[in-house]
Amino acid sequence: MEIKSSNKFIDLYLFTIGFAIIFILIAFHMHKFRWLALFPVFGIVLWLIVLKYRFPKSVSIKGNTLTVKYFQTFRTKYDSLPVSACRFNLDMYTRTGNRGQKTEHYVLTISANNAVRWKLTTLEGFHVEDFQVMLKYIGIY
């Protein structure tokens, strides 16, 4: 059983870093405008803050192991947990937009050893139906 995210933020951040590097190289070749190269430096400092964030790509369950595949610091990493040691909590909250539009979003919290390990949301590209199917597969929902 596997559910995947359609998160587009990963591609956006990789594009931003590449664009910053190209901008720095061009700015250094323009002798009167070398000070322009400082702008991407500030962006890179902000990027270091983003590097601490983990972008979940997929969640799979095989046997008694729950594996979360995520993207962090330009690499794909895995976090494996035993399903029997995990607690799952599916919450719904409502957001009100600028024009009074109300949208429902869901958060699946995965806890292990009384600590929250993952919070997967529909804002990250997951679908609530996938959360429900996964919880039914485990036998919780």
pLDDT in tens, 35-85: 777 777 776 666 666 666 788 889 999 989 999 999 887 788 999 999 989
| Cβ–Cβ < 8 Å for 82, 90 | no
Q: From 104, 125, 124, 107, select the one nearest 116 (Cα to Cα).
A: 107
d(CA 99, CA 117): 35
Render pLDDT for 74-89 as a digit per residue (tens, 0 to 9): 788 999 999 989 999 9
For the chain, the domain total comes to: 1
Return the higher-pLDDT residue of 117 and 44: 117
Question: Helices 9-29 and 38-50, interaxial angle, to 10°?
Answer: 160
Q: Tell me which residue range forms the domain holding 60.
A: 1-141
Mean pLDDT of the chain: 82
pTM here is 0.69
